Chain A
Amino acid sequence: MSTSSAFNDEKGGSSSVGEPEYGHDPASGGIFSSDYKRHDDLKEMLDSNKDSLKLEAMKRIVAMIARGKNASDLFPAVVKNVACKNIEVKKLVYVYLVRYAEEQQDLALLSISTFQRGLKDPNQLIRASALRVLSSIRVTIIVPIMMLAIKEAASDMSPYVRKTAAHAIPKLYSLDPEQKDQLIEVIEKLLADKTTLVAGSVVMAFEEVCPERIDLIHKNYRKLCNLLIDVEEWGQVVIINMLTRYARTQFLNPNINESLLEEGGGGEKTFYASDEDEDEDEEKEKKAEAVTMAKRKPYVMDPDHRLLLRNTKPLLQSRNAAVVMAVAQLYFHLAPKAEIGVIAKALVRLLRSHSEVQYVVLQNVATMTIKRRGMFEPYLKSFYIRSTDPTQIKILKLEVLTNLANETNISTILREFQTYIKSMDKDFVAATIQAIGRCATNIGEVRDTCLNGLVQLLSNRDELVVAESVVVIKKLLQMQPEKHSDIIKHMAKLTDNIQVPMARASILWLIGEYCEHVPKIAPDVLRKMAKSFTNEEDIVKLQIINLAAKLYLTNSKQTKLLTQYVLNLAKYDQNYDIRDRARFIRQLIVPTEKSGALSKYAKKLFLALKPAPVLESPFKDRDHFQLGSLSHLLNAKAGGYQELPDWPEAAPDPSVRNVEVFALLERVTTLTSVPEWTKCSSREKRKEKKVEKPFYSDSEGESGPTESADSESDSGSGSESGSGSEDSRSGSESDESKEASESEEEEEEEEEDLKKKKKKKNEEKQLKKPVQESESEQSSEEEVRKPERKSKQNKSESESESDEDEESESESSESESEDSEDSEAELKKKKKVAPPKPAFKAAKKENKKEKKEMSLLDLDDFEPAPSPQVTPVNTFLSNSLVTDLEGLSLSDAALMPATIAPSSALKSYELLHRITGEGLSVEYCFSRQPFSPDANMVAVQMHFTNNSTSDTKSLHMEDVKLQSGMRVKEFPEIELLPAGETATAVMGIDFCDSTQAANFQLCTHTRKFFVSIQPPVGELMRPFFMTENEFKKEQGQLMGMNEITEKLTLDVKCRNEHTIVQKVTTAANLSRVPCGSDKECRFAGRTVTSSSLVLVTVATKDEGAAQLTVNCEKMVIGTMLVKDILLALTQ
């Protein structure tokens, strides 16, 4: 260290004196000799009015920074120029600011306002650069400003600005980790972004801020897979690495059957060989269970798993080595064994690249070759070593060659090794000898050949070579000593010449161990060694003592005195290890009165049969690190490394990824639209193809209509959602799904029809969405389309209208009365008119409201066909379908708004009392309907009653205060509530699976009331339908901490099944799970926001005793739910 610091001093010193020129500009030449003066001059230049002078000064300052000189005292002078008009001066000032702001926090604040102004600039690039610099200034005080800027930029129109926002997230996080929650929110938002520009950056932010939140990926998984090929190279690397980890948590091991075979076959690799076997028995059992399960059920790859593999494969052809490596590791960790082979060729190609790349690739190849040797065997020759390779590369190649060696190719490999042994690079030669040793141990057939070869090396002139050979020979001989006494004799002779301690020690050990094979030579060797004992290295001395002891035990007649002598010498050695050893051995082998018992066993102790050493690759078992990672390379966990999880035993619910399919389709079509060159760009078409036919079928001819449709959806996304936003039912998500379904249908539809379709679909959405959701369970995109169409047909059947009719109808949304004879159509019309104009001024207001609410149900009522249609297709009903059915029955029953929800069971809560509200009273209840604009929100139905004598106007909400993560979709403003009338509105709240209250102000034209809505825990979930088996399986996974059990005594009144069901479903929004036993009632649901399973079991026993069990991943919810249900059941 001292030398290095001196080095630095020297550098520093030279800088203050020398520092001749700055750049190539003559003006900046070394006119000024001292630092002080020069800086003065710079300050002057910076203060001048001329841009050219400023620029000159900044250039010199940047040059100083580049050389690592301190320029911090110029800060005040520089920061003044932050608002300079000249773009280059500005840029350089930014460079300076980013470098020194951290050191001069107070002064740096002066520049903040400039950036804040920049954030509002109409030019996207200026906004982006302002955000970039602002977030790069590491000043803690401005954290709130940064947070605000990031949030704003995350919803910027320009994808470039959003990208910058994604970059800013980890910056802010490293500055203030407290902001994590808020940042995660932004990440979540950006993850949903559909542009390739943003994808890479946001995943990078995700990896740095919240890599553990794998749940955020679910909905974006398919989108990311499909976008991947168009993301820039660096983003690809990050995304692929992240997806590898994701896939490991979500899919089943594709090689599970294979590992079963391996175990069962019990070949060479039996128990400890495959990494599937963990040491703990328990785990093994579990595994075995899983394996047997797999046996019963043949493995079927999740289509999403397949999607990932398929979409990453072309990237093996990337010019970027990092991308190729990322794909390779993905395949290695995720692909079925049969498919891994494709990566070998690409990796071998990388060996042509720079030596640093080779170094990293070879390390990874070395690890891979241990697990999957066959993969690289065809490329054996590519790993041959050239004399010009750097040593580290040579040694790695050697490692790979050794790993690849088997019975068939060993002769070629050995021939190759033979040439290497002659190399001038001695480190490499030593490594080669070790490699030969390893080949010899691994492949029995060549052991003798290798041994003979190595023995020949013993006469090599280079001592290093000989020493290394001795060490390796020793290991080999240990395997079958009896055959090789002549080799041992040969080696004994070597003790005269070889000086390398390790080699001497090895020979001595060997002679001692096999002294019976060389009874004449051994004592002689000991004699020689005793002579030179004092001059030997410690490790040799220890072996001399060993040798002496062994000889004493076998041949005490000849060696007794020699042993005594050696032990005496050792007794006074400087090294205490040697003294200890001598003392210990003397006690052990020389029988005295005290040590009688032990010395009997001395022979057993010393001459026990030693197991042969296993020569192992240093790369063995390195694959528990994710390949291609820094940790793998170092074979040590690097900071921030994310463990590659083990495969799950049962696949988690694949439907979590479903939602986004539609959004993805939309984005794909969006991309196709914009530029004119797209027409001939099959890069774009590729995506399109993916949409239509996932299996790469060509469809270039069909691109026409898509494009126009897209251009509309792209540019018009605002206007569309505008029209939709009036409609309280349509949220952004449903927009997406709608567009998605369009793109699916585009083959049949005429281009011009698309617009009309869109309108129509606005109405169908209500119906379709649930259908789609349940369909998408089937994952394969193609399949999704079919039922989709089916449902359409179905609908048209039920309406008894032809396709054209539909179109014409929707075309004239205003002049619809043509069809009005039909009562159904009439209903439809109302529904159509009502939503877009919620602010209809009339006394009918209330009435209309009702209709609007009703329309939710009307649709279901209208076209009931799809749901039963879909049911048989799916193996189980989706939750939304269940609620759908619920809604159906209700809407059939009555058209009163009060009955929308199962009101008898629903509890109303007071939001605003009549007195505090000055005549206005508000009640709310949780309607348990899916909140259509946003599936993650809980629908809250509010009843407004105007008890006063005057009208209340413009009833709306304001100033929503929420805990982080929570969101609210406000109810539409009620313009007029006449005296004595009532009105109903629905709002959505995303409680983020917590019982935190949502606080907001309820405003009328005259007053504002502070109110808050707090949900009972039972309303934070929605019913989820599952079969008994599924229930049991899921329950089995939610044990331990996730299970809460409570004993209770049931009230006399509610001892029958019916009441229990009623009580529980009242307390919590769950659906019943069918159950064989009548002693048990089971319920299942999922939390609204995170879709965590909630499983409830009520087991009844005699005398009203019962046991309540709640299984839920979210422990807080579980605990609270237990309390609530307990209360409900015991009351």
Chain B
Amino acid sequence: MINSLFLINHSGDIFLEKHWKSVISRSVCDYFFEAKEKAIEPENVPPVLQTPHHYLISIYRDKIFFLSAIQTEVPPLFVIEFLHRVGDTFLDYFGECSETVIKDNVVIVYELLEEMLDNGFPLATESNVLKEMIKPPNILRSVVNTLTGGSHVGDTLPTGQLSNVPWRRAGVKYTNNEAYFDVIEEIDAILDKSGTTVFAEIQGVIEACVRLTGMPDLTLSFMNPRLLDDVSFHPCVRFKRWESERVLSFIPPDGNFTLMTYQVSSQNLVAIPVYVKQNISFLEAGSCGRLDITIGPKQTMGKTVEGLMVTVHMPKAVLSVNLTATQGTHTYDLATKTLVWDIGKLNPQKLPNLRGSLSMQTGVPKPEENPSLNIDLKIQQLAISGLKVSRLDMYGEKYKPFKGVKYLTKAGKFQVRT
């Protein structure tokens, strides 16, 4: 399957390579660089490339290209999904997934890759299993290790791989037993010029942080499970129970994990928390334009909208902006032609407004299209779909865990066309 992996940074340096079968020369990446040149934007590099002897499947995340070389037929998603899993593992281990952090921990990274694939076929990808084999670095341990010559490799090999609950390690112990669940919903929407909703849906995810001793068996139930339309689960969730009773029953992995993702059924009308009044125009003469944006609350269920931010990708012809905001700060990045207006908390009494003029390159025809606005926002303690967790029960262990549920609504791909 996966023959080799190359990690390539933004500027095109290969800073790590790993081969699971015979070595493939890194010159194979040249085909990739060619495509990268052509694509201009890194997001536009085709994920799958064909070269005379190999197939290159790559992902781009955190400014790193994960490029895998493959020799035979394999489902492309298989590779893509795996590469993302590698990225997730780095994130899990080092807190971030950047070039520096990978370079600093190159030995651990190498050992991880060695464990994750065998002959190009995924072997251990569960974070719990990996962490038992290769301990993640932390400051205390690295100090101790340098003093004693100790190691980050576990002495005992993990049992997780052998058990029937491969995602949970054995012998977990905590003094404080706690289980937290974050219900996070994102609104994906496209609003047109007049403010009518072209398309809107709610995507939700339940992130869990479970630190419980032993082998707890949890059951999470909802007040209104009917809201959930399409779901996908962590492998630990018993699908049968969900089908028959609409409860989530599972033996959780240890630590942080994504319990489920869901989509709220499309029949329900999606509440759009804010409205946007905007007027962007480019004048034919005088090579300038006007911009006027006002944001106000719409359906917020009585909560405050926070972290409000507007991002506008301006046409290439816009040279600079001369704007004033009644609230928050705005910046204009000349290189990427991106206008960012960071508003913060939305005050319903005094609506934030940004207005001013745009100066344009002279001699260039005025842009066809007005740029669309991408909106970011957060609403604490609210799941916009109305989903509510009713209770969490634990079986299999005697102690009483501390339980908590948090709700958060965010804007996902929230776009206003102008």
Q: Do A and B bind each other?
A: yes
From residue A434, how far is it (CB to closest CB) to chain B in Å? 18
B374 is contacted by which of A24, A346, A388 (Cβ under 8 Å)? Answer: A388
The answer to whether B17 touches A322, judged by C-beta atoms less than 8 angstroms apart, is no
Q: Which residues of B contact A392 (CB under 8 A)?
A: 44, 46
A359-B46, A390-B43 known; A66 and B109 CB under 8 Å?
yes
Within residues 433 to 484 of chain A, which ones have a CB less than 8 A from any CB in chain B?
Answer: 460-462
From residue B217, how far is it (CB to closest CB) to chain A in Å? 5
From residue A419, how far is it (CB to closest CB) to chain B in Å? 6
- In the complex, identify which listed stretch (A51-59, A972-980, A1037-1045) lies at the interface while the others stay far away: A51-59
From residue A348, how far is it (CB to closest CB) to chain B in Å? 8
The answer to whether B232 touches A677, judged by C-beta atoms less than 8 angstroms apart, is no
Q: Looking across the interface, which residue of chain A has its beta carbon closest to that of B314?
A: A424
The answer to whether A24 touches B22, judged by C-beta atoms less than 8 angstroms apart, is no
Within residues 601 to 626 of chain A, which ones have a CB less than 8 A from any CB in chain B?
Answer: none
A204-B121, A388-B413 known; A630 and B73 CB under 8 Å?
yes
The answer to whether A391 touches B44, judged by C-beta atoms less than 8 angstroms apart, is yes
From residue B169, how far is it (CB to closest CB) to chain A in Å? 14
Count: A-B pairs, CB below 8 Å: 295
The answer to whether A677 touches B396, judged by C-beta atoms less than 8 angstroms apart, is yes
B290 beta carbon closer than 8 Å to chain A = no
- State A234–B315 Cα separation when bound (angstroms): 44
From residue A99, how far is it (CB to closest CB) to chain B in Å? 7
The answer to whether A234 touches B365, judged by C-beta atoms less than 8 angstroms apart, is no
Within residues 144 to 194 of chain B, which ones have a CB less than 8 A from any CB in chain A?
Answer: 146, 149, 151-153, 155, 157, 161-166, 188, 190, 192
Q: Which residues of B contact A11 (CB under 8 A)?
A: 13-14
A386 beta carbon closer than 8 Å to chain B = yes
Within residues 126 to 153 of chain B, which ones have a CB less than 8 A from any CB in chain A?
Answer: 142, 146, 149, 151-153
Interface string of A315-356 (1 = CB under 8 A from B): 001111110111000000000000000000110110010111
The answer to whether B368 touches A639, judged by C-beta atoms less than 8 angstroms apart, is no
B48 is contacted by which of A381, A634, A671 (Cβ under 8 Å)? Answer: A634
A904 beta carbon closer than 8 Å to chain B = no
From residue B218, how far is it (CB to closest CB) to chain A in Å? 10
The answer to whether B19 touches A387, judged by C-beta atoms less than 8 angstroms apart, is no
A18 beta carbon closer than 8 Å to chain B = no
The answer to whether B164 touches A671, judged by C-beta atoms less than 8 angstroms apart, is yes
A87-B155, A167-B119, A680-B217 known; A52 and B149 CB under 8 Å?
yes
Within residues 227 to 246 of chain B, which ones have a CB less than 8 A from any CB in chain A?
Answer: 229-235, 238-241, 243-244
Q: Looking across the interface, which residue of chain A has its beta carbon closest to that of B161?
A: A160
A55-B149, A349-B232, A357-B77 known; A639 and B244 CB under 8 Å?
no
B119 is contacted by which of A52, A171, A352 (Cβ under 8 Å)? Answer: A171
Q: Looking across the interface, which residue of chain A has its beta carbon closest to that of B1?
A: A204
The answer to whether A354 touches B84, judged by C-beta atoms less than 8 angstroms apart, is yes
A354 is contacted by which of B61, B106, B235 (Cβ under 8 Å)? Answer: B61
- State A404–B251 Cα separation when bound (angstroms): 42
- State A816–B60 Cα separation when bound (angstroms): 75
The answer to whether A629 touches B73, judged by C-beta atoms less than 8 angstroms apart, is yes
- State A676–B165 Cα separation when bound (angstroms): 12
Within residues 15 to 69 of chain A, which ones have a CB less than 8 A from any CB in chain B?
Answer: 22-27, 50-52, 55, 59, 62-63, 65-68
- State A102–B23 Cα separation when bound (angstroms): 9
The answer to whether B80 touches A67, judged by C-beta atoms less than 8 angstroms apart, is no
- State A654–B240 Cα separation when bound (angstroms): 29
Q: Looking across the interface, which residue of chain B has its beta carbon closest to that of A159?
A: B162
- State A620–B30 Cα separation when bound (angstroms): 32
Q: Looking across the interface, which residue of chain A has its beta carbon closest to that of B159?
A: A125
The answer to whether B106 touches A63, judged by C-beta atoms less than 8 angstroms apart, is yes
Within residues 44 to 83 of chain B, which ones have a CB less than 8 A from any CB in chain A?
Answer: 44, 46-48, 50, 55, 58-61, 70-78, 80-82
A250 beta carbon closer than 8 Å to chain B = no
A68 is contacted by which of B14, B149, B215 (Cβ under 8 Å)? Answer: B14
Q: Looking across the interface, which residue of chain A has its beta carbon closest to that of B317?
A: A424
A319 is contacted by which of B55, B235, B374 (Cβ under 8 Å)? Answer: B235
Q: Which residues of B contact A25 (CB under 8 A)?
A: 146
The answer to whether B233 touches A317, judged by C-beta atoms less than 8 angstroms apart, is yes
- In the complex, identify which listed stretch (A88-96, A486-494, A743-751) lies at the interface while the others stay far away: A88-96
A774 beta carbon closer than 8 Å to chain B = no
User: How many of A's residues come within 8 Å of B, CB to CB?
Assistant: 127
- State A355–B46 Cα separation when bound (angstroms): 10
A314 beta carbon closer than 8 Å to chain B = yes
The answer to whether B190 touches A384, judged by C-beta atoms less than 8 angstroms apart, is yes
- In the complex, identify which listed stretch (B110-118, B275-283, B327-335, B345-353) lies at the interface while the others stay far away: B110-118
A99-B23, A320-B81, A633-B76 known; A65 and B368 CB under 8 Å?
no
A681 beta carbon closer than 8 Å to chain B = yes
B344 beta carbon closer than 8 Å to chain A = no
The answer to whether A325 touches B23, judged by C-beta atoms less than 8 angstroms apart, is no
Interface string of B13-52 (1 = CB under 8 A from A): 1111111011100110110011000000101101110100
The answer to whether A4 touches B365, judged by C-beta atoms less than 8 angstroms apart, is no
A642 beta carbon closer than 8 Å to chain B = yes
Q: Which residues of A contact B75 (CB under 8 A)?
A: 237, 241, 322, 325-326, 628-630
- State A197–B367 Cα separation when bound (angstroms): 59
A136 beta carbon closer than 8 Å to chain B = yes
Q: Which residues of A contact B22 (CB under 8 A)?
A: 102, 138
Q: Which residues of A contact B50 (CB under 8 A)?
A: 634, 636
A387 is contacted by which of B82, B84, B261, B415 (Cβ under 8 Å)? Answer: B415
From residue B272, how far is it (CB to closest CB) to chain A in Å? 15
The answer to whether B77 touches A355, judged by C-beta atoms less than 8 angstroms apart, is no
From residue B260, how far is it (CB to closest CB) to chain A in Å? 8
Within residues 643 to 686 of chain A, which ones have a CB less than 8 A from any CB in chain B?
Answer: 671, 674-678, 680-686
Q: Which residues of B contact A326 (CB under 8 A)?
A: 75
- State A696–B240 Cα separation when bound (angstroms): 8
The answer to whether A638 touches B55, judged by C-beta atoms less than 8 angstroms apart, is yes
B369 beta carbon closer than 8 Å to chain A = yes
A422 is contacted by which of B46, B114, B217, B368 (Cβ under 8 Å)? Answer: B368
Q: Which residues of B contact A322 (CB under 8 A)?
A: 75, 77-78, 80-82
Q: Which 6 A-B pairs have the closest CB atoms?
A: A52-B149, A640-B72, A4-B30, A422-B369, A88-B151, A125-B157
A-B contact list, 17 entries, CB within 8 Å: A8-B26, A23-B106, A24-B105, A167-B118, A230-B164, A232-B166, A321-B77, A346-B230, A360-B76, A387-B313, A387-B371, A387-B372, A388-B313, A419-B192, A422-B368, A629-B76, A677-B396
B contacts, CB < 8 Å to A: 1, 12-19, 21-23, 26-27, 29-30, 33-34, 41, 43-44, 46-48, 50, 55, 58-61, 70-78, 80-82, 84, 104-107, 109-111, 114, 118-119, 121-123, 125, 142, 146, 149, 151-153, 155, 157, 161-166, 188, 190, 192, 198-199, 201, 203, 215, 217, 229-235, 238-241, 243-244, 249, 251, 258, 261, 263, 313, 315-316, 365, 367-369, 371-372, 374, 395-396, 413, 415, 417
A contacts, CB < 8 Å to B: 1, 4-5, 7-8, 11, 22-27, 50-52, 55, 59, 62-63, 65-68, 86-88, 91-92, 94-95, 99, 102, 123-125, 129, 132, 135-136, 138, 158-160, 164, 167-168, 170-171, 174, 197, 201, 204, 208, 229-230, 232-234, 237, 241, 314, 317-322, 324-326, 345-346, 348-349, 352, 354-357, 359-361, 381-382, 384, 386-388, 390-392, 416, 419, 422-424, 460-462, 628-631, 633-634, 636, 638-642, 671, 674-678, 680-686, 689, 696, 698
Given A360-B77, A682-B240, 19 extra CB contacts under 8 A: A22-B106, A67-B17, A92-B107, A95-B110, A99-B19, A160-B161, A171-B21, A318-B233, A319-B232, A321-B77, A357-B84, A384-B199, A386-B415, A424-B316, A461-B368, A633-B76, A642-B73, A675-B165, A682-B241
